């Protein structure tokens, strides 16, 4: 017995999934009720329209029917329509007279959202786990080296060198930008040395007037000069006897005092101002500078023989911009210190952490510490937000661009489908590669793609290239 065609329509209209049927030319022949709801268009406005025309006006993307007719194979794609995602499977059906394409369409929007939320949650958990591990490592390092915090490779390499040379009495020259913590390193060298039970004496050669520096270093005898203390004065060299003398900003040491320091290094002796006899001093000398001493030698501003005596062991302290992995431990270290000092229950927001980690910190650790202290004092609420950051950090061009990129992605994510979001990211990555490498060949190589693949995407996204 024959089964009436209208019965098939009634049954297919009861399905909760969409059914879309087209002929071998891609012309829509029939859709069930669910399909009209999925596409948001009445049946009368679908029947007779080609899938190519429907795809161009954005009814669905991509057209599975077109793909099936071209490939001649059963095909499954994630299809987007009206901001929702569908799993569309197209079947090529061949009869004696002609061919049809039947597409079965299942709404997977909520499944995709749940999956994407899970991925975001997992990524967030992974990030938190990494931060916790960094904090644990930083805490261990802080326990072993309370003044020197960090987990980055340049930092660990420097600490290893400090541990190896600390117990030798050779002079050490510390090189590094302003604010990297040269005085902390000098103290660490003293603490790890056999002189740790003796004095650590520090002087900044640029902070004392040139006329007073000699008397501060070497002291003077009773009646050595007009206005001198009637009992004379003990110099810092004598105070450091048996211990460590740290001369910061050694490049600022006046030329006329450099021979006296050279004598102290070579002969372990010196002459106080107004004295007639030589005094002995058992001191280890550690110096530091942020200047180019070899260049100063060429300019006759620093003695070459003194430089070689000071530079027996050279330790370069890397700036924060070269040890990005240390920024997070340092931020939390100083946050803990100033929370306790000012009795505040305060924390960083995730956005602030991201921005501070990306900032170049030209003032290095000193700038970072001062920034954290300021934020703890001035932030009104219990969470430090972007609005609380200094203008200097917020206006930092490269960081602001990175932050805006991240924020734009977050704000748009809720209103975008997964394929749209992925395409957006792909376009931006390719654009950046083209800007950085100036040619499709180099850009493709940097992204691990073939040149033909990147060329197709350039055409797809209508991107411009610099290739000749």
pLDDT in tens, 306-360: 999 999 999 999 999 999 889 988 999 899 999 999 999 999 998 899 899 889 9
Q: Which residues contact 84 (CB under 8 A, 6 or more apart)?
A: 38, 107, 109, 417
Pairing of the two strands 18-23 and 28-31: antiparallel
Cα 52 from Cα 31, distance rounded (Å): 16
Please give the DSSP secondary-structure letter assigned to residue 61.
B
Does this model's pTM top 0.85?
no
Q: What is the C-alpha radius of gyration for the chain, rounded to an integer number of angstroms?
A: 36
* pLDDT, the chain, mean: 84
What are the CA-CA distances from residue 159 to residues 148, 152, 313 (Å)?
Answer: 9, 11, 14
Per the CB < 8 A criterion, the answer to whether 413 and 404 are in contact is: no
- Candidates 208, 258, 216; CA nearest to 238 is 216
Q: What are phi and psi of 388, to 5 degrees?
A: -85, -15
| Count of CB atoms situated within 10 Å of the CB of 113 | 15
What is the average per-residue pLDDT within 143-154? 69
Give per-residue pLDDT as tens, 174-214: 999 999 999 999 999 999 999 999 999 999 999 998 888 99
Cα 318 from Cα 333, distance rounded (Å): 19
Q: What percent of the chain has pLDDT over 90?
A: 45
Per the CB < 8 A criterion, the answer to whether 16 and 86 are in contact is: no
Residue 109 burial class via C-beta count within 10 angstroms: exposed 0-12, middle 13-18, buried 19 and up: middle
H-only helix segments in 166-245: 182-191, 210-218, 236-239
Look at 425 and 118; give whichever has higher pLDDT. Answer: 425
What is the CATH T-level fold of the domain 8-107, as seen in this structure? Beta-Lactamase (3.30.450)
What is the CATH T-level fold of the domain 147-318, as seen in this structure? Rossmann fold (3.40.50)
Both structure tokens of 64: 């599975």
Q: Which CATH architecture has domain 321-413?
A: Orthogonal Bundle (1.10)
Cα 219 from Cα 237, distance rounded (Å): 8
């Amino acid at each position: 017995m024959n089964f009436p065609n209208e019965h098939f329509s009634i049954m297919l209209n009861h399905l909760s999934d969409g059914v879309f049927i087209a002929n071998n030319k891609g012309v829509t022949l029939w859709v069930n009720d669910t399909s009209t709801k999925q596409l948001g268009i009445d049946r009368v406005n679908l029947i007779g329209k080609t899938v190519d025309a429907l795809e161009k006006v954005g009814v669905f993307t991509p057209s599975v029917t077109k793909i099936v007719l071209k490939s001649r194979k059963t095909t499954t794609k994630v299809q987007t329509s009206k901001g929702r995602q569908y799993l569309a499977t197209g079947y090529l059906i061949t009869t004696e007279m002609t061919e049809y394409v039947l597409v079965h369409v299942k709404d997977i929007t909520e499944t995709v959202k749940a999956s994407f939320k899970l991925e975001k949650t997992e990524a967030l958990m992974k990030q938190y786990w990494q931060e916790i591990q960094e904090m644990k490592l930083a805490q261990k390092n802080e326990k072993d080296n309370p003044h020197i915090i960090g987990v980055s490779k340049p930092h660990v390499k420097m600490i290893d060198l400090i541990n190896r040379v600390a117990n030798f009495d050779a002079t050490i020259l510390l090189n590094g930008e302003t604010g990297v913590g040269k005085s902390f390193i000098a103290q660490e060298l003293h603490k790890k040395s056999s002189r740790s039970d003796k004095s650590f004496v520090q002087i900044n050669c640029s902070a004392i007037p040139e006329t007073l520096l000699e008397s501060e270093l070497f002291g003077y005898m009773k009646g050595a000069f007009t206005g001198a203390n009637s009992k004379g004065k003990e110099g810092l060299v004598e105070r450091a006897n048996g211990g460590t003398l740290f001369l910061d900003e050694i490049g600022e040491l006046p030329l006329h005092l450099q021979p006296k320091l050279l004598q102290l290094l070579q002969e372990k002796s010196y002459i106080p101002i107004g004295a007639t006899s030589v005094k002995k001093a058992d001191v280890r000398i550690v110096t530091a500078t942020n200047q180019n001493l070899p260049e100063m030698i060429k300019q006759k501003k620093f003695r070459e023989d003194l430089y070689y005596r000071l530079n027996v062991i050279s330790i370069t302290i890397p700036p924060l911009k070269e040890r990005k992995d240390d920024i997070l431990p340092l931020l939390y270290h100083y946050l803990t210190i100033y929370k306790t000092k000012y009795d505040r229950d305060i924390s960083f927001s995730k956005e602030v952490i991201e921005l501070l980690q990306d900032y170049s910190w030209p003032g290095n650790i000193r700038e970072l510490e001062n920034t954290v202290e300021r934020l703890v004092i001035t932030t009104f609420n219990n969470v430090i937000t972007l609005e609380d950051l200094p203008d200097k950090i917020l206006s930092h061009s490269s960081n602001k661009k990175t932050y805006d990129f991240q924020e734009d992605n977050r704000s748009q994510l809720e209103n975008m489908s997964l394929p749209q979001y992925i395409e957006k990211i792909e376009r931006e990555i390719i654009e950046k590669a083209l800007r950085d490498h100036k040619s499709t060949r180099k850009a493709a190589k940097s992204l691990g793609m073939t040149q033909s693949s990147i060329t197709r995407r350039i055409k797809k996204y209508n991107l411009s290239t610099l290739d000749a």
